[in-house]
Structure 1
Amino acid sequence: MTAAPLPLRRKLGWAVGDFGFNLYWQTLNLLLMPFYTDVLGLDPRLAGTVFLVASLWDGFADSVIGAIADRTRTRWGSYRPYLVFASPAVAVCFALCFLSPSGGAFAEQSGLFLYALLSQILMRTAYSVVSIPYSSLSARISGDANERASLAGWRMVFAFSGGAAVTYLMPTLVERAGGEGNPFAYVIAAGAVGLLSLPIFWLCFLETREPPREVELNPVGFSLKAVGDDARTVGRMLRLNGPLMRVFACIIVSSLAFTMTNKALTYYVNHTLERPDLRDTLVPLALIANLMFSPFWAWVARKRSKRDAWLLANVWSAVAYAAFWLIPSRDPVIAALLLTAVSAANVGYQVLFWAMLPDTVEYNAHVTGQRHDAKVFGLASFAKQLALGVNGFLFGWLLFAIGYVDGVDVTPATADGIKVIMTVVPLIGVVLSAMIMWGYRLDQAEHARVSRATEQGVEPGFEQT
């Protein structure tokens, strides 16, 4: 693996893949919960439970898929083939998530709950089969910490471009397909989005180069020995890799807290601002702000350190969330400005997470003697999915607690409660993530030292936390 600067073409060739992934992910994150509660008519508590159970399954699947990807051997590499051969399954499963079954068992809440759960589990499994190998590539295509910060910045540019595009595209396609009166409108829209993603994944495959492994894992397949080896490997990583555990803890807190803003946004526009006509403007606005500020956070990480950039994002987020919470105005212009301020800060966590995570792969090689790229990314995805699942579950119960019921007029207290959900809960997360990140010390200089020590065969030191 080379530490030489990557050509811009290679950076963009890898980063463009996240445009395709976020056509799916931002739809699930921003639009699926309102689809469950307002189109399917699923109780918000049951809808939240769907997200919890599906995310728990997703986290388990991510770890398994990471282990399988690490042992995959083809002439195209370990990770790149998944972008071509598994991506069509994601498009099919995505469309199934937006089917509106009716009649028979689906006339009851239990039937709708079961269908929503099974379809989302299927979708998340297919998604992980492609996304875990894709993310693992970031630790293979460059070994330079600054290049990885640049890669993470470009990745987020494409990620939020895809998210902004789909938040406009999905409602438009649904309307063109007949609106909510057509039971297949959402399926048609989701199918079109899935087809759009496929050439993006194929382009990523063509433009990405995966260097050969310096140290080969024995591709022993699905034997009990392989399972035992992988379990022991994971145990050692969790015990010895202090930087990885801090990154895990921060992404759990971030995903649990800050995603409340995204999940509540549609409800906030519809019921707190009472401007559903602005939904297709304000929801993409948050992602456009993410898109615009992604390069800024990558730049701060290169100029200072990833830890300092994270703490700066904490300060910015705290001020923005406090202002959003305390300013009583429901003027859409003021709401848009506050939402932009929050989103501009929050994108920092995503850029920095994906920039930090590959660095922990080298640290893992230093303290354990093996890289295990996909296992690291699989565990990170498990941590993130666990937090997102708890987030969805908690959000559903919070909606119930403030009195939100589909088809029933929203009271002023409920409208205010939606605003509290999307500001106060994340504000708590800001404080917690700052406390966790304070002790992170794997900056550019330390990463370079660890990489050199690993290459020279120097015995690891365990002082890093």
Structure 2
Amino acid sequence: MALPARVRRGYAMGSVATGTFGTVPGLLLLPYLTDTLGVAAIVAGLIVFVPKAWDVVLNPIAGRISDRSQSPRGRRRPFLLRAGIALAVTFALIFAGPSGPPALAAVWVLVAFLVCATAYAFFQVPFNAMPAEITSDAGERTRMMTWRVAVIAIAILLSGATAPLIVDTFGYTAMGAYVGVLLLIGTVGAYVATAGVTEDATEAPRGPLREQLRVVVSEPDFRRLLVAFVAQALGVGALLAGVSYVARYLLADPAASSVLFAAFVGPALLVSPLWERWCRHRGKKAGYLASTVVLVVGAVALWTVTSDVAWPSYVAAGIAGIGYAGTQVCPLAMLPDVAAAATRASGANRIGIFTGLWTAGETLGLALGPGLYGLVLAVGGYAESTGGTAQSPSALTAIAVGFTIVPAVLVALSLLPLRRYSLDERTAHA
């Protein structure tokens, strides 16, 4: 049964929050700590990383808690509103603390960011779990994810472009308040739009969390899908970490980073419906395989950054972006299929734990990707003290390898578990 259009589109409003929160801290939190608050770089790096590591642990717990919710407003919906409001408020507080001394400012940001990350886990995991419960139509789930990925792209482009401008014009406190409003719009929008939907009434199983995690991980198709998605998140994390280095050292134009970023993310606005059509006619697995291959081709083509001409790199980033859009639409639609099929087979609702493990894996992959890129730079002899004026030939090679070959290999390896995925979405009805 098809969902009302307001539910499909309104549910996607939650991606305003996920896209914004996934973009802005990575762009601005580290320079805020080091350049405005005077926090040492190594301490600032830990402050940025620790909440992400905490989310890896917390996501399955958040899923378990939402699985056992029995609110009359729906199993997941109350989390969207409560956690969404907390997310918006605490994000603004991150950038509204004391300006000194540095130790006090660092503690403020760490505590605020930890609370903010906790709120985000209790929003994102129930948000990801909803498609498996509000429709039994596997094709409808794909249409929901198409809208979702398009809104994510808009949120990333909007927040990534406007937040730095607000910092430059009004300062970090105003930027925090502005982003808080964006987060509030996304979370409240998703909550309101999904009012009245009928959810799967299957009860969550009893027993310790460890046992429920074991049951979920034992599902072969979920395991294959998760391994493939995490490998891709790791590769994409490394690719995105290299954008500013490529622009500065290989293209000799720091402004090129914005063009590369837009070329990679922007295609999702145009091609997500095409990937949805592919999935509808040829299957989600086929769509995921095809989009993965396109992403690999685009990543390899990014080797053109080693030339003196910039436009081939932008074209390559666009090709990679076309593939990236599909590698978001397809697995995000396949995950609720797997979770719903497992619920139907066992009679127990573990959908929140499925999505909790999924978001934990994605968070871990995206968090480790920049670290992997940094390791490649270190092996190549990247010199931090040069201030962007010069790098050795081996360091320049490392910049390119970490940006193109490493992501291409990681994404290509994801094809191995993905080929063994066996769930037929035609039978994936809750």
Tell me, which stretches of 5 or more residues in structure 1 are unaligned?
Answer: 178-184, 219-225, 452-465
Corresponding residue number in structure 2 for 1:320: 298
Contact 1:62 1:379 in 2 (8 A): yes
Corresponding residue number in structure 1 for 2:187: 201
Corresponding residue number in structure 2 for 1:186: 172
Q: Give the drift of 1:214.
A: 2.6
Corresponding residue number in structure 2 for 1:216: 203
Percent identity reads 25
For residues 280 and 41 of structure 2, the distance between their equivalents in structure 1, rounded to whole angstroms, comes to 42
**Does residue 248 of the first structure (1) align with residue 226 of the second (2)?**
yes
- Judging changes above 3 Å, is the alpha-carbon distance between structure 1 residues 173 and 105 closer, same or farther for their aligned structure 2 residues? closer
Number of residues paired by the alignment? 426
Contact 2:64 2:352 in 1 (8 A): yes
Where do residues 53-452 of structure 1 align in structure 2 (5 Å cutoff)? 53-98=50-95, 104-106=101-103, 117-177=110-170, 185-208=171-194, 209-217=196-204, 228-239=207-218, 241-326=219-304, 328-401=306-379, 402-405=381-384, 408-412=387-391, 413=393, 414-448=395-429, 451=430
**AA in 1 matched with 2:77:** R
Q: Give the drift of 1:363.
A: 2.3
More deviation in 97-106 or 288-297?
97-106
Contact 2:236 2:369 in 1 (8 A): no
Contact 1:253 1:433 in 2 (8 A): yes
Q: Give the drift of 1:54.
A: 3.0
Deviations 1:74-114, CA, capped at 9 Å, x for gaps? 2211211122222222123323445697654549xxx85x6
Contact 1:253 1:432 in 2 (8 A): yes
**AA in 1 matched with 2:413:** L
For residues 298 and 37 of structure 1, the distance between their equivalents in structure 2, rounded to whole angstroms, comes to 43
For the residue of structure 1 that corresponds to 2:266, the secondary structure is helix
**Does residue 18 of the first structure (1) align with residue 4 of the second (2)?**
no
- Judging changes above 3 Å, is the alpha-carbon distance between structure 1 residues 317 and 70 closer, same or farther for their aligned structure 2 residues? same
**AA in 2 matched with 1:129:** F
Q: Give the drift of 1:430.
A: 1.9
**AA in 2 matched with 1:65:** A
For residues 326 and 294 of structure 1, the distance between their equivalents in structure 2, rounded to whole angstroms, comes to 26
Contact 1:36 1:47 in 2 (8 A): yes
Q: Give the drift of 1:379.
A: 1.3
Deviations 1:16-53, CA, capped at 9 Å, x for gaps? 21123212112234554566677667777666655554
Contact 1:164 1:288 in 2 (8 A): yes
For residues 214 and 415 of structure 1, the distance between their equivalents in structure 2, rounded to whole angstroms, comes to 56
For residues 118 and 272 of structure 1, the distance between their equivalents in structure 2, rounded to whole angstroms, comes to 38
For residues 231 and 103 of structure 1, the distance between their equivalents in structure 2, rounded to whole angstroms, comes to 43
Q: TM-score, with normalisation over the residues of structure 2?
A: 0.89
More deviation in 287-296 or 46-55?
46-55
For residues 396 and 42 of structure 1, the distance between their equivalents in structure 2, rounded to whole angstroms, comes to 21
Q: Give the drift of 1:266.
A: 2.7
Q: Give the drift of 1:256.
A: 0.9
Deviations 1:178-218, CA, capped at 9 Å, x for gaps? xxxxxxx2232122111133133222211114424432348
Q: Give the drift of 1:267.
A: 3.0
- Judging changes above 3 Å, is the alpha-carbon distance between structure 1 residues 300 and 405 closer, same or farther for their aligned structure 2 residues? same
- Judging changes above 3 Å, is the alpha-carbon distance between structure 1 residues 437 and 82 closer, same or farther for their aligned structure 2 residues? same
For residues 382 and 99 of structure 2, the distance between their equivalents in structure 1, rounded to whole angstroms, comes to 26
For the residue of structure 1 that corresponds to 2:76, the secondary structure is coil
For residues 121 and 328 of structure 2, the distance between their equivalents in structure 1, rounded to whole angstroms, comes to 18
- Judging changes above 3 Å, is the alpha-carbon distance between structure 1 residues 80 and 236 closer, same or farther for their aligned structure 2 residues? same
More deviation in 19-28 or 209-218?
209-218
- Judging changes above 3 Å, is the alpha-carbon distance between structure 1 residues 424 and 300 closer, same or farther for their aligned structure 2 residues? same
For residues 308 and 27 of structure 2, the distance between their equivalents in structure 1, rounded to whole angstroms, comes to 21
Tell me, which stretches of 5 or more residues in structure 2 are unaligned?
Answer: none
For residues 397 and 103 of structure 1, the distance between their equivalents in structure 2, rounded to whole angstroms, comes to 33
- Judging changes above 3 Å, is the alpha-carbon distance between structure 1 residues 167 and 285 closer, same or farther for their aligned structure 2 residues? farther
Tell me the C-alpha RMSD between the 2 structures.
Answer: 2.8
For residues 398 and 278 of structure 1, the distance between their equivalents in structure 2, rounded to whole angstroms, comes to 22
Contact 1:237 1:368 in 2 (8 A): no
Q: Give the drift of 1:70.
A: 1.3
For the residue of structure 2 that corresponds to 1:140, the secondary structure is helix
For residues 308 and 39 of structure 2, the distance between their equivalents in structure 1, rounded to whole angstroms, comes to 29
- Judging changes above 3 Å, is the alpha-carbon distance between structure 1 residues 236 and 277 closer, same or farther for their aligned structure 2 residues? closer
Contact 1:89 1:126 in 2 (8 A): yes
